[in-house]
Structure 1
Amino acid sequence: MGAAWIALGLSLKVALWATCIDLVLGVAVGWLLARVRFPGRDVLDALLTLPMVLPPTVLGYYLLVVIGRNGPLGRWLDAVFGINLIFTWQAAVIAAAVVAFPLVLKGARTAFETVDPQLEQAARVLGVRPFGVFLRVTLPLAWRGVLAGTLLAFARSLGEFGATLMVAGSIPGKTQTLSIAVYEAVQAGQDDTANLLVLVTSITCVTVLLLAGRLAPARRALP
């Protein structure tokens, strides 16, 4: 039973780190796609949305190619810093962040697109710097959509399985996240542990989804 709570704690740590990474990158890229027109914008949006539709095992394979010991990033990290990401909790964070990133991106982009550009222009006319316009006008008006996407990304990160298993493995106490622990418990015939983990995961995800639903921008009533 103690191993189950260790897996829960590790899953929460991985999900929090992955969500923080996605929040920073998702808000930046979401604003870029919503406010700046440039060649290849639709292609970039499609590529960044791919993790929503690709099988997790495919994403895991791509991550192995990139951050594995023989991959370009993995080889560089190993040669310069002596860091090997594979089969570490940091690899689980990367996997969860990649899988959940489109949820933050889509939520942020949609929220930014609902902000009236004239309000931003008015702030610039009053002498507010561009970054100040973002912090004082754009983000406060779009925060509900951004936060809703962030909560969904947290729930997705908490339940990530396929890509995490491929790059981080299932090392109890080190890389065995909640979803992997459920799989291992079922395989070992530990029904009580599996039931507890499933219950905790379900309650957490339902709570997050309810919060995300309340924070999402209100829809206009149909005529």
Structure 2
Amino acid sequence: MTQAFWQPIQLSVEIALISCVIVLVLGLILGRVMSNVTFRGKAIVETIFLLPLVLPPTVIGFLLIVVFGKNSPVGQMIEWIFHQPIIFTWWAAVIASTVVAFPLMYQSAKTGFSSIDVDIENAARVDGASDLKLFLFVSVPLALKSIISGVVLSFARALGEFGATLMFAGNIPGKTQTTSTAIYIALDSGNMQLAWLWVACMIVISFIMLICVHLIKS
């Protein structure tokens, strides 16, 4: 196999890993907070968190372009700091993958934290555990199965992201061309053999991810 074949796969894995780290941190924090608090409008906030699960990828890509585009305050700030726009860059692909993968991590983390017996956490507080120690050494270990399941599913989702990435990050070989976009281009150009090879690689990786989730939950 040539470097040109492995490059989209390597890029997809790198983007998925970075996205997974980001959604893990955000998912743990927000999942913990939302599992413990009740406030007016909570359902609306949670709906916003989960919205990328049901929105078409093109809609997500469009919204990312609007938020991070040159005409937006966020886009102008990024261009002023880094002297280049974020659209059609490696980080644009990371952002797109993070957005679509976050709901899976958030939902898994929240489910895990919600299943913890409150008496166990209260006992840890009585023993003098601070909020941080309680979170790291009691809550996270007790919700670990759900958290790991969320990580695996988020990684798989980020790995296979296509629509939002194509719109927001483009399809630049060696820079933003992931396996999903490479398959699309190969199919569009009639190179079925190359497309099948990439498809086979993605099926194997996705199969392994799902097996891991099954083993974790069993």
Q: Give the TM-score, by structure 1 length.
A: 0.95
Give the share of equivalent positions with the same residue, in percent: 44
Partner of 2:193: 192
Partner of 1:181: 182
**1:93, CA displacement in angstroms?**
0.3
Please give the alpha-carbon distance, in whole angstroms, between the structure 2 residues aligned to 1:8 and 1:96. Answer: 15
The 3-state SS of whatever aligns with 1:174 is coil
What do the CA deviations read for 1:107-163 (whole angstroms, capped 9, x no partner)?
000010110011000000011111111111110000110110110010010000000
1:141-180 equivalence runs, <5 A: 141-180=142-181
Partner of 2:31: 30
1:58-207 equivalence runs, <5 A: 58-207=59-208
What do the CA deviations read for 1:44-77 (whole angstroms, capped 9, x no partner)?
1000100000000000000000111112211111
Partner of 1:221: none
Range 33-42 or range 196-205, more displaced: 33-42
**1:35, CA displacement in angstroms?**
1.0
Please give the alpha-carbon distance, in whole angstroms, between the structure 2 residues aligned to 1:81 and 1:157. Answer: 25
Please give the alpha-carbon distance, in whole angstroms, between the structure 1 residues aligned to 2:79 and 2:145. Answer: 40
**1:210, CA displacement in angstroms?**
1.0
Structure 1 contact 99–157 (Cα < 8 Å) conserved: yes
Q: Could you tell me which amino acid in structure 2 is paired with residue 49 of structure 1?
A: L
Unaligned runs of 5+ in 1: 219-223
- 1:6 is aligned to 2:13: no
Please give the alpha-carbon distance, in whole angstroms, between the structure 1 residues aligned to 2:42 and 2:73. Answer: 26
Structure 1 contact 92–168 (Cα < 8 Å) conserved: yes
Task: Please list every run of at least 4 consecutive aligned residues from structure 1 whose deviation after the TM superposition is greater than 4 angstroms.
Answer: none
Q: Could you tell me which amino acid in structure 2 is paired with residue 52 of structure 1?
A: L
Please give the alpha-carbon distance, in whole angstroms, between the structure 1 residues aligned to 2:142 and 2:133. Answer: 13
What do the CA deviations read for 1:168-209 (whole angstroms, capped 9, x no partner)?
101111110000000000011111110110000000001001
Q: Could you tell me which amino acid in structure 2 is paired with residue 191 of structure 1?
A: M
Partner of 1:45: 46
Q: Give the TM-score, by structure 2 length.
A: 0.97
**1:38, CA displacement in angstroms?**
2.1
**1:79, CA displacement in angstroms?**
2.1
Structure 1 contact 64–71 (Cα < 8 Å) conserved: no
Please give the alpha-carbon distance, in whole angstroms, between the structure 2 residues aligned to 1:124 and 1:40. Answer: 29
Structure 1 contact 4–178 (Cα < 8 Å) conserved: no
Structure 1 contact 4–181 (Cα < 8 Å) conserved: no
Unaligned runs of 5+ in 2: none
Q: Could you tell me which amino acid in structure 2 is paired with residue 207 of structure 1?
A: I
Please give the alpha-carbon distance, in whole angstroms, between the structure 1 residues aligned to 2:206 and 2:172. Answer: 24
